[in-house]
């Protein structure tokens, strides 16, 4: 019989992988709660239109990476490729546009049909946060500070650089975009093929091209700063001052434009060099029209998302496995005492395991492998006297303890 395989680009998280993954999510939940964020749990699939409209029809994610399917009722549904669109949809459907601002944290699987690589999967997991309904640059700074806080808490802040840019407001961007098109049109023949295709649709993307022929042209390309409206300029200035006040180090990078179409003003990426081509670890920006796309009012917002797998890969060390107190009954006849000891410990919140097979020596070996701090030996004599031998596996000391004192004694031992 042939062995079934996991689907390409999916992976199982078991043991150490699971612990690392879980650790990232727990830290994110803890940190975001310090900033007033609550978890929103939204569906893994939505109507296709939710993503198609919001991410930009021409973006790669929409045009070639989505898992779309027709359900039995004939509706076109899509497994979410990212989290922001669903959050905006939920904001509108739940009438929360009446009570802004809203702070949403989310986590869960996302789906993109891409060529898998390390740190890049077809089903992957993100943590993300959206601050909906604020238009001040201080909100942007705080959101970035929150992202940084998580990286710091995970112990990877030093492996990562914050790259920051502004796309200006709509008016600035429009003027700049036109300037870019006319500039690059003059050099059309020198552009890479990809960039020639992008020229009309999304000329901003040429800016983060890696191809040398494009890069050569970038130096003299029109800069946004020459097209910024005074309002957009103020926003950008205030953001940078605020980041300094939050003491978040950043590097300005005028070439960050981001792949999803909905951004304006602030865009940023926390980038590492330790993951090869998959260096972006936490990224986001400000967006304005998204909630309107979902049929709501204009709700200026700022958000970011981070790849859980990528963060887990960067973790220096794996979270430890919990170590149990191990109860070793020396015969089936003492199960009476052993099981009640087991249950008393667990009811008191102590992680306890019981050994069923092997001789005492083997059981001790196993307890040692599990890193057990204590082994509780119960033989016929002990059962008779209603005591257990409590052996401290670190010091090697052993003491006879009455069953009635077991929990207190174990707690005292474990506290050390």
Q: Rule CB under 7 A: which residues touch RNA?
A: 1-2, 5, 8-9, 59-61, 65, 82, 112, 114-121, 124, 126, 194, 198, 205, 208-211, 258-260, 269, 276-283, 305-307, 309-310, 330, 358-362, 364-369, 375, 377, 379-382, 389, 391, 393-394, 396, 398
243 or 283: CB nearest RNA: 283
Chain-centroid distance of CA 386 in Å reads 51
98 or 273: CB nearest RNA: 273
First to last CA, the chain: 53
Alpha carbon of 51 to those of 72, 78, 85: distances in Å? Answer: 20, 8, 6
> CA 146, 173, 305 angle in degrees (round to 5)?
25
Helices (H), 154-277: 170-186, 193-201, 212-218, 230-245
The least distance separating RNA from the CB of residue 229, rounded to whole angstroms, comes to 26
What CA–CA distance (Å, rounded) separates 338 from 327?
7
What CA–CA distance (Å, rounded) separates 205 from 259?
8
Chain-centroid distance of CA 334 in Å reads 48
297 or 385: CB nearest RNA: 385
> What is the residue whose two structure tokens read 């201080």?
138
The least distance separating RNA from the CB of residue 342, rounded to whole angstroms, comes to 17
Q: At a CB cut-off of 8 Å and minimum separation 6, what does 13 contact?
A: 21
The least distance separating RNA from the CB of residue 224, rounded to whole angstroms, comes to 18
148 or 228: CB nearest RNA: 148
The least distance separating RNA from the CB of residue 317, rounded to whole angstroms, comes to 18
280, 269 Cβ separation under 8 angstroms? yes
31, 304 Cβ separation under 8 angstroms? no
Burial of 274 (0-12, 13-18, 19+ CB in 10 A): middle
31 or 228: CB nearest RNA: 31
Strand-pairing partners, residue 163, are 251, 269
What CA–CA distance (Å, rounded) separates 124 from 110?
5
- Nearest residue to 264 via CA among 229, 297, 295: 229
The least distance separating RNA from the CB of residue 362, rounded to whole angstroms, comes to 5
What CA–CA distance (Å, rounded) separates 191 from 290?
32
279 or 319: CB nearest RNA: 279
251 or 348: CB nearest RNA: 251
136 or 389: CB nearest RNA: 389
The least distance separating RNA from the CB of residue 367, rounded to whole angstroms, comes to 7
The least distance separating RNA from the CB of residue 279, rounded to whole angstroms, comes to 6
The least distance separating RNA from the CB of residue 17, rounded to whole angstroms, comes to 12
97 or 370: CB nearest RNA: 370
The least distance separating RNA from the CB of residue 110, rounded to whole angstroms, comes to 7
């Amino acid at each position: 019989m042939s062995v079934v395989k996991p689907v390409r680009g999916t992976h199982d998280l078991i043991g150490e992988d699971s612990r690392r993954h879980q650790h990232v999510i727990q830290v994110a939940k803890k940190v975001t709660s310090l900033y007033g964020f609550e978890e929103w749990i939204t569906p893994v699939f939505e109507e296709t239109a939710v993503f198609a409209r919001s991410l930009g029809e021409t973006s790669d994610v929409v045009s070639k990476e989505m898992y779309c399917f027709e359900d039995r009722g004939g509706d076109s549904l899509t497994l979410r490729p990212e989290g922001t669109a669903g959050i905006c949809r939920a904001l509108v459907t739940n009438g929360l546009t009446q009570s802004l601002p809203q702070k949403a944290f989310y986590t869960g699987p996302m789906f993109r049909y891409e060529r898998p690589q390390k740190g890049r999967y077809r089903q992957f997991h993100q943590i993300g946060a959206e601050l909906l309904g604020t238009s001040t640059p201080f909100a942007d700074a705080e959101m970035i500070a929150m992202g940084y806080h998580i990286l710091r808490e995970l112990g990877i802040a030093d492996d990562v650089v914050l790259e920051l840019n502004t796309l200006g407001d709509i008016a600035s961007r429009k003027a700049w975009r036109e300037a870019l098109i006319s500039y690059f049109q003059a050099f059309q023949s020198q552009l890479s093929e990809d960039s020639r295709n992008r020229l009309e649709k999304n000329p901003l993307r040429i800016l983060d091209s890696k191809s040398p022929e494009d890069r050569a042209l970038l130096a003299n390309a029109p800069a946004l700063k020459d097209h910024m409206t005074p309002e957009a300029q103020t926003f950008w200035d205030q953001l940078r001052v605020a980041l300094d006040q939050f003491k978040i180090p950043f590097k300005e990078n005028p070439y960050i434009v981001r792949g999803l179409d909905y951004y304006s003003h602030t865009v940023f990426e926390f980038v590492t060099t330790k993951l090869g081509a998959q260096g972006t670890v936490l990224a986001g920006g400000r967006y304005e029209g998204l909630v309107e796309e979902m049929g709501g009012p204009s709700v200026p917002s700022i958000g970011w998302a981070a790849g859980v797998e990528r963060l887990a890969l960067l973790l220096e060390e794996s979270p430890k496995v919990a170590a149990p107190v191990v109860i070793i009954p020396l015969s089936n006849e003492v199960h009476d005492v052993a099981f009640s000891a087991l249950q008393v410990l667990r009811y008191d919140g102590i992680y306890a395991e019981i050994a069923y097979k092997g001789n005492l020596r083997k059981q001790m070996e196993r307890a040692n492998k599990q890193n057990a701090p204590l082994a509780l030996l119960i033989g016929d004599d002990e059962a008779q006297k209603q005591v257990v031998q409590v052996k401290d596996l670190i010091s090697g000391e052993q003491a006879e303890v009455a069953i009635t004192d077991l929990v207190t004694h174990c707690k005292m031992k474990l506290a050390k």
